[in-house]
Amino acid sequence: MTFAGVLEPLDTLKLVPFQPEYTFKIVDLIDSIYREYGFYLCLPDAEIDLLTIAENFPDGTFQVLIDEQHQVYGTVGVSQQNSRPENWYLKRLYLHATCRGSEWATNMVEWAESKAIANGAERIELWSDIQFTRAHTFYENLGYQKDDRVRSMLDSWVPYKEFFFHKELKP
């Protein structure tokens, strides 16, 4: 799988709710990002949710950054924590390399935070692979705090580790 998009001007992109026809374009985008880090997408386990986005992210809680030809340049989702309904997770924030550092990155996180707040969230949390150092700086610049938690994951082709981040939300 390879991402085949040619970047449109950033101002022609738009954030839209997930539609099933975007599924394999999303898979291709995330796979291309993982390969930048020497990772391989693990659809049978770690990324199985990408094949069932509508079920895992109901009520418009997953958005896709697309161009006029419906090529996918980014994704973002939020989900409520079952055990603590006031806490939400920021999930699946991915951007094509040419969009990273643009206003779209911030806009997508702001969308996620607003969606969570509108649904009663007081806090948003995320886990991020320890190798995504640029993303960690981005999150910290947006007010996310990294604590000492690191989790070891065994749900992919090779083990990996993730850092924990959180942010208190103000309505």
59: burial class by Cβ within 10 Å (0-12, 13-18, 19+)? exposed
Judge whether 96 lies within some domain: yes
Output phi, psi for 108, to 5 deg.
-70, -40
For residue 62, give the nearest of 80, 78, 39 by alpha carbon: 78
- pLDDT in the model for residue 166: 98
d(CA 86, CA 36): 35
Domain range spanning residue 90? 10-168
Number of domains in the chain: 1
| pLDDT tens by residue, the chain, 171 residues | 344 455 556 788 999 999 999 999 999 999 999 999 989 888 988 889 999 999 999 989 999 999 999 999 999 999 998 889 899 999 999 999 989 989 999 999 999 999 999 999 999 999 999 999 999 999 999 999 999 999 898 888 888 899 999 999 986
d(CA 79, CA 55): 11
- pLDDT in the model for residue 21: 96
Check which CATH number belongs to the domain holding 97 and give it.
3.40.630.30
- pLDDT in the model for residue 5: 52
The whole-model pTM stands at 0.90
- pLDDT in the model for residue 45: 86
